[in-house]
Amino acid sequence: MAQEFLLYGSYGYTGSLIAQQAVDRDLTPVLAGRHAEKVEAQATDLGLAHRTFSLEQPTVVTSMVEQFDAVLNCAGPFSRTAHPLIDACLAAGTDYLDITGEVTVLEEIADRDADATDAGTTLLPAVGFDVVPSDCLAVHLASQVADPTRLRLALHGLSTFSPGTLKSVLQGATMPGAIRENGVIRTVPAAWQSRAFTFPGSELVAITVPWGDVSTAYHSTGIPTIQTYATVPEFARWVLERTRWLTPVVRAAPVQRALHALIDATVSGPTAAEREQNVVRIVGEVETESGDGAAAELRTPDPYDTTAMTAVESVRRVLDDQVAVGFQTPGLAFGPDFVLEFPGVERRLFDEPGSERPPTAANP
């Protein structure tokens, strides 16, 4: 019989891709969310069972999750949804996974490690594109040198967004940036720093962004100083650096509601054809106090397709009891080569700046 798990937030753009991927991989997601019509329509289309509930009543949430061995949370923003589901999972002894990339949320989940261990429950957040590829890359790079003290990660190729992702990005844009320095997360202004990164065949400028790796890479590798970057067009970089004073305005609740409504009305997410054409490149660099270092590039398919593959495989392994209890990261749970198991993924290790070894690709 196919393995069953609860998929909360199943009818969003990313949740829908994950639901289909799960069915294709012979898992049985029970679809769930707070909008009855959307859940029922999706369940009818896929021939799956469903549940309808919000996260506002703890006893109701617990009564739902206790029916399952694992819950995968795809409902953002995770600053609102993670904690009610985690509380219920700990009470019920149900394993929890999600696809968040929000630094604050990830740190708060890490703080529940002892609670999860006592409950015999696994907490495995960030099993999508945030942060499986970059976390695996960080763990791989950390193994290439002795005692690395600094990690930089830069992403290139993020282009189109789903409504849910764009809302999370919008929420994140109203908050300060984040880096990790000597083991401690420090807030910094938006677009705090720009830096050139060497991608094979080109040099690209990226700005600091608070990717989830500011949290997870530290727990996966122990590297104390971590900065994460993304490439953006030069004009966008210029605008971000000069409009930080607008942050309080954009953060205001009426403005957020208006922007969310605009996103719902105008953004549908990338088409299958657009996803098929998209390739994302992640460059990672580690350094030691003595100046030794290593660098590598990871190429992946479109982030949404990558998320569907990595999230479903993560759930499968949790259901098979392959992951330890307590707080885990993808790199800790599965190792640095986990991401190479998926089609379209390649990793190149640079011997020195501007050079590269032959790629290590996904298993055939």
Mean pLDDT per 10-residue section of the chain, whose length is 364 residues: 88 96 98 98 98 98 98 94 98 98 97 98 98 98 97 86 60 74 93 85 87 98 97 57 56 67 68 87 96 95 96 99 98 98 95 51 51
Identify the pLDDT of residue 364: 40
Q: Which residue has the tokens 């122990």?
A: 222
Q: Are residues 92 and 170 in the same domain?
A: no
Q: Name the pTM for this structure.
A: 0.89
Calpha distance 315→354 (Å, rounded): 38
Q: Is the dihedral of CA 191, 78, 218, 143 positive or negative?
A: negative
* Burial (Cβ within 10 Å: 0-12, 13-18, ≥19) of residue 123: buried
Calpha distance 257→221 (Å, rounded): 38
Q: Are residues 212 and 115 in the same domain?
A: no
Write out the two tokens for 112: 């529940």
Identify the pLDDT of residue 356: 52
Q: Are residues 295 and 187 in the same domain?
A: yes
Q: Are residues 137 and 62 in the same domain?
A: no
**3-class DSSP state for residue 137?**
helix
Cα separations (Å) of 179 from 152, 214, 230, 300?
Answer: 10, 6, 13, 24
On whether the CB atoms of residues 360 and 346 are closer than 8 A, the answer is: yes
Q: Are residues 38 and 26 in the same domain?
A: yes
Residues 6+ apart with CB under 8 A from 79: 102, 104, 105, 171
Domain count, the chain: 2
Give the CATH number, domain containing residue 201: 3.30.360
Q: Are residues 114 and 52 in the same domain?
A: yes
**3-class DSSP state for residue 135?**
helix
CA dihedral 59, 85, 263, 11 (to 10 degrees): -90
What is the rounded radius of gyration, in angstroms, for the C-alpha atoms of the chain? 20
Q: Are residues 290 and 326 in the same domain?
A: no
Identify the pLDDT of residue 21: 98
Give the CATH number, domain containing residue 316: 3.40.50.720
Q: Are residues 109 and 138 in the same domain?
A: no
Q: Are residues 219 and 152 in the same domain?
A: yes
Containing structural domain, residue 37: 3-128+305-334
Identify the pLDDT of residue 235: 46
Q: Are residues 163 and 248 in the same domain?
A: yes
Q: Are residues 52 and 103 in the same domain?
A: yes
Calpha distance 70→84 (Å, rounded): 15
Q: Are residues 89 and 166 in the same domain?
A: no
Residue 74: count other Cβ atoms within 10 Å of its Cβ: 29
Calpha distance 164→40 (Å, rounded): 20
Amino acid at 58: P
